Amino acid sequence: MPEEIIMPKLSDTMLEGTLLKWFRHEGDYIQRGETLFEVETDKAVLEVESSAAGVLTQILVQGGEKVPVGTVIAIVGGELPEVVPQQEPLPEGAQKTGQAKKPHAQQKETPQLKVVPHKKEAGESAFAGGVHASPAAKSYAAERRIDLSRIAGTGIGGMITLKDVRDYRAHLPSRETSIPDIPAESVPAEGTTVLSTMRKAIAATVSHSKRTIPHFYLSYDIDMTAALKKLVELNRDKSDADTITINDVLIKAVATTLKNYPYLNALYPEGGLLLKKEVNMGIVIGLPEGLIIPVLKSADTLALEDISRGVKKLREKAEAGKFSSDDLTDGTFTISNLGMLGVADFAAIIYPPQTAILAISTIKDTPVLKDGAFIPAKMMRVTLSMDHRVVDGISASNFRRDLTRYLENGDFETVDKPCCIVEDD
């Protein structure tokens, strides 16, 4: 029985995708779960596994084509289409004498995908496109006017990653770090311009969120003095590669606290409210061309070391522009941290269909009144944005209280028993 392979929905906001390439040809036998094709979404380049096993009988969407989510792009199983080879043209002498060359015997041929070299359009440059590179690598190279055609890619299929460009730039002599003869991308002084694909997706998501979700906000300060001291102790014997960051600590603290507040960890799609047992933490990562929110699954069950490794892996994938189809879906709560950039205070927009997001600002040395005297403290401002249809101020205030206690105690491995039983959806 033939089975359809469709363009999958690889992120919560994906509406369409560009099929970059197939890893197998028509006529090949494929296993369920093996990597079958590569897709570029509004957020990243993803490799997709086959959902069926059998002979790949038809490829309906070729490399470079953009189609909506749910479009049938290939057929597995059934009969291979019969390919009749074209008859060779008659020799000049035979055309004059009317004698035809005997045709070869007809045979069923397996169609092969043609690899077509990329043709540069007018004005296109190797500094921003025209080569197989991740979106982050292209943007980084364009800003620094680095010629991507000189760089050997180490990514899958020879793709140039952001790390490849940075490594190349680090080893260039100072006079070759940039190439001044190539003009920078022209930007209109005024008037309209074109948003990137990622920016269009971000614009659509935040517009929908602010238009349909009644946001309300709760801001408060947390004394991070004990947490930072504990962090120094945890990192004392660790290598640089294994160092735990304050962001890892915040993910641990928030995920643990959320177990007691299922409505802050819920999803509210059009079909109705879904309470989720696991805490799948969305982590906002900034890229030159926009934002991406990969998801650390079951963050509430992970030790700090596992959280740290998981976040580092997601950041590496973000820089390379390579995610699995599981990395960008099923988030239940999101953290947006701008503290490392010195931001004093901000509020984030909820990422639908989630019901809340936590904005993390910088940690500042602040005098705090305690027992009648001012003492120095490391204070951090956080702002919780919530969907008022689902969460009220009392629940939010209780979450604030428990998160504050968790961090101010500096005991990151304490896991409290959830107050509520949440059924699987």
Question: 392 an active-site residue?
Answer: yes
CA distances from 153 to 37, 263, 279, 369 (A): 19, 45, 36, 56
**Is 403 in contact with 244 (CB distance < 8 Å)?**
no
Confidence of residue 422 (pLDDT cuts 50, 70, 90): very low
Q: Which has the higher per-residue pLDDT, 352 or 92?
A: 352
**pLDDT band of 397, cuts 50, 70, 90:** very high
Work out the average pLDDT over 140-168.
76
In this structure, of 95-109, 162-176, 328-342, the range with the lowest mean pLDDT score is 95-109
Confirm whether pTM is higher than 0.85.
Answer: no
Residue 137 contacts residue 161 (beta carbons within 8 Å): yes
Among 18, 5, 384, residue whose Cα is nearest residue 201: 18
Residue 53: name the closest of 71, 23, 74, 77 by CA.
77
Phi and psi angles of residue 200, each rounded to the nearest 5 degrees, phi first:
-65, -40
Give the integer Cα–Cα distance in Å for 234 and 360. 22
Going by the DSSP 8-state scheme, the letter that residue 112 receives in this structure is -
Angle 73-74-76 (CA atoms, 0-180°, nearest 5)? 155
| Residue 109 CB partners (closer than 8 Å, separation 6+) | 83, 85
Say if residues 39 and 82 touch (Cβ distance below 8 Å): no
Residue 78 has pLDDT above 60, yes or no: yes
pLDDT at 160 (0 to 100): 82
Largest CA distance in the chain: 115
Report the alpha-carbon distance of residue 272 to residue 2 in Å, rounded: 35
Catalytic pick from 392, 411, 416, 425?
392
Would the pLDDT of 240 be above 50? yes
Percent pLDDT > 90 in the chain is 41
- The whole-number pLDDT of residue 128 equals 42
Mean pLDDT of 75-87: 60
- Order of strands across the sheet that contains 29-30: 3-6, 72-76, 54-59, 29-30
| pLDDT band for position 194 (cuts 50, 70, 90) | confident
pLDDT of residue 17: 87
Cβ pair 279, 299 in contact under 8 A: yes
In this prediction, residue 191 carries a pLDDT of 66
Among the ranges given (66-70, 98-102, 301-305, 330-334), the one the predictor scored with the smallest mean pLDDT: 98-102
pLDDT in tens, 273-318: 999 999 999 999 988 778 889 999 999 999 999 999 999 999 988 8
Looking at per-residue pLDDT, the higher value among 335 and 129 belongs to: 335
Average pLDDT over residues 74-89: 61
CA angle, corner 185, sides to 177 and 193, nearest 5?
150
Is residue 215 among the annotated active site residues?
Answer: no
As a whole-number percent, the residues of the chain with pLDDT over 70 amount to 76
Q: Which pLDDT band holds residue 129 (cuts at 50, 70, 90)?
A: very low
Mean pLDDT score across all residues of the chain:
79
Q: Which domains does the chain have, with CATH numbers?
A: 3-78 (2.40.50.100), 135-176 (4.10.320.10), 215-409 (3.30.559.10)
* Catalytic-labelled residue, pool 208, 345, 388, 411: 388
Amino acid, res. 305? E
Write out pLDDT tens, residues 251-272.
999 999 999 999 999 999 888 8
- Mean pLDDT score, 14-18: 84
> Are residues 127 and 141 in contact, defined by beta-carbon separation less than 8 angstroms?
yes
193 pLDDT above the threshold of 50: yes
